Amino acid sequence: MSTSTVPRPHRALRSGPVSAPLSGSARVPGDKSISHRALMLGAVASGVTEIHGLLTGEDVLRTAAALRALGARIEAGADGIWRVAGVGVGGLAEPEGVLDMGNSGTAARLLMGLLATHPMTAFLTGDASLARRPMVRVAAPLERMGASFVARGGGRLPLAVIGTARPIPIAYRLPVPSAQVKSAVLLAGLNTPGLTSVIEAEPSRDHTELMLRHFGATVTAERMEDGAMAVSVAGEAELTGRPVRVPGDPSSAAFPAVAAAVLPGSEVLLPGIGVNPRRTGLYETLREMGADIAFENLREVGGEPVADLRVRGGRLRGVDVPAGRAPSMIDEYPILAVAAACAEGETVMRGLAELRVKESDRLATMAAGLAACGVSCEAGAETLVVRGTGKVPGGATVATSMDHRIAMSFLVLGLGAQAPVAVDDGAFIETSFPGFAALMNGLGARIGPSDTAPPA
């Protein structure tokens, strides 16, 4: 078995300094985490799940393709609504081919959980970035539930999941703060008798728990004596297909939001963004840096809090970001580092060990890219220090290491820099934010292919 075989054409992109502030309104694509979960729960529910606003980025399309191979019927309607005809809990069928999860850690890890308690063997692979990422963190608790795995050295993809016919419920304390590991165990718990629990010391995103309840499962969250939370799902659950409305992704909104925040005079409105408190650490940090960000028209959509984000540009100052905030903004450190580079003063980001095992080693890729752009910075084992002077020289080409968020972050940096910034490969932006350059350019950015001048 090999890693993903379809070669992806490189697409170098470049962004030029803007001559005018950003302005206007733009709708960012649906939340990636919620989109994966909507498809997966729809696939193991009884009946039909209608999904409004599904992210159609490559990562989510990988999940849809895998679930089809496992027996669910999934169709994208001409009306933009995705319909999933589920097979019921425990009803997935052994796939004939290898499930290719592309660049998506969430797809691979959550699916490992679902498959672990189905008595069948399935083979998973992914691209070169995903094949570098650790899977033992997911396999370890699932093995305790009775599944086994055959993986490459270091517990990496490609791997085989050998699901168990006799699942054992467990109570598992997470050794790393990870919503993916928590979710994998809870999803495995769906087809397991009794109560399956995950204990987390630091609260990670809770979309799985919220959506499981939405589909009719019994999920409880209880505070332990030491302050950790025990999240439990009652097994052999009956899930019923439900409509799901996917909010705009706060992790994608982060790119136009930071661009507007660092360009004085800008005013941008981003309607319908998910503002689940376990996802909004970046916005809290930007406010501490002096950014003007309002959550307007706060409401609840399908159990998730949603708001329209209004961002006005100004001067930002460096801050100290505590380690405890990391789980609520784990995907946002690359774009926060860009905000810090445009700010005045030192920003210290702590508790970043997990950034080493994302789509790239984000501590290393950010530090290298910022240095290439003339920004003073320092990466430690789990810290990143950025020293902003209010001026970013730019004028470099940054290596993105197959990482969508690194590519988008540096394209935002180019807007506030003194000379254009290029990224070696923007193709991976399609995994999470289709239409990124067009959306940004609609607000007044200048992002285009790097071998030609950025659009005027």
* Strand pairing class (344-349; 320-321): parallel
Query: How far, in Å, CA of 381 to CA of 36, rounded?
Result: 31
State yes or no: residue 33 binds ligand S3P (CB under 6 A).
yes
Residue 100 contacts residue 77 (beta carbons within 8 Å): no
Residues 40-60: b if buried by 16+ CB within 10 A, e if exposed: bbbbbbbeebbbbbbbbbbbb
H or E element at residue 11: none
**Cα separations (Å) of 392 from 311, 380, 414?**
21, 22, 9
Question: Which residue, 180 or 197, is less far from ligand S3P as judged by CB?
Answer: 180
Question: Which residue, 393 or 434, is less far from ligand S3P as judged by CB?
Answer: 434
Beta-carbon contacts of 263 under 8 Å, excluding residues fewer than 6 positions away, are 18, 21, 22, 313, 415, 416
Of residues 99-118, which lie at the interface with ligand S3P (CB under 6 A)? Answer: 106
Question: Closest approach of Cβ 405 to ligand S3P, in Å?
Answer: 9
| Residue 163 backbone dihedrals phi, psi, to 5 degrees | -75, 155
State yes or no: residue 178 binds ligand S3P (CB under 6 A).
yes
Among 14, 62, 132, 205, binds ligand S3P (CB under 6 A): 205
Among 54, 142, 170, 179, binds ligand S3P (CB under 6 A): 179
Among 183, 197, 280, 347, binds ligand S3P (CB under 6 A): 183
Stretch that binds ligand S3P, among 63-71, 82-90, 172-180, 385-393 (CB under 6 A): 172-180
Query: How far, in Å, CA of 410 to CA of 415, rounded?
Result: 9
Question: Closest approach of Cβ 432 to ligand S3P, in Å?
Answer: 8
* Strand pairing class (219-223; 229-234): antiparallel
State yes or no: residue 63 binds ligand S3P (CB under 6 A).
no
Query: How far, in Å, CA of 115 to CA of 117, rounded?
Result: 6
State yes or no: residue 180 binds ligand S3P (CB under 6 A).
yes
Stretch that binds ligand S3P, among 50-58, 176-184, 190-198, 277-285 (CB under 6 A): 176-184
Closest CA to 423 of 443, 403, 441, 453: 403
Respond yes or no: is residue 331 known to be catalytic.
Answer: yes
Question: Closest approach of Cβ 408 to ligand S3P, in Å?
Answer: 13
Please count the residues of this chain forming the interface with ligand S3P, following the rule CB under 6 A.
10
State yes or no: residue 330 binds ligand S3P (CB under 6 A).
yes
Closest CA to 422 of 400, 455, 402, 442: 400
State yes or no: residue 252 binds ligand S3P (CB under 6 A).
no
State yes or no: residue 244 binds ligand S3P (CB under 6 A).
no
Query: How far, in Å, CA of 10 to CA of 15, rounded?
Result: 17
Question: Which residue, 387 or 405, is less far from ligand S3P as judged by CB?
Answer: 405
| x/- letters, 334..373, toward ligand S3P (CB under 6 A) | --------------------x-------------------
Out of 59, 100, 249, 331, the active site residue is 331
Question: Closest approach of Cβ 30 to ligand S3P, in Å?
Answer: 13
Question: Closest approach of Cβ 105 to ligand S3P, in Å?
Answer: 6
Question: Which residue, 127 or 331, is less far from ligand S3P as judged by CB?
Answer: 331
Beta-carbon contacts of 144 under 8 Å, excluding residues fewer than 6 positions away, are 168, 170, 172
Give the length of the chain. 456
Question: Closest approach of Cβ 445 to ligand S3P, in Å?
Answer: 24
Question: Closest approach of Cβ 346 to ligand S3P, in Å?
Answer: 26
Stretch that binds ligand S3P, among 5-13, 17-25, 49-57, 179-187 (CB under 6 A): 179-187
Query: How far, in Å, CA of 85 to CA of 47, rounded?
Result: 6
Query: How far, in Å, CA of 257 to CA of 339, rounded?
Result: 10
Q: Which residues are catalytic?
A: 331
Residues within the interface to ligand S3P (CB under 6 A): 33, 106, 178-180, 183, 205, 330-331, 354
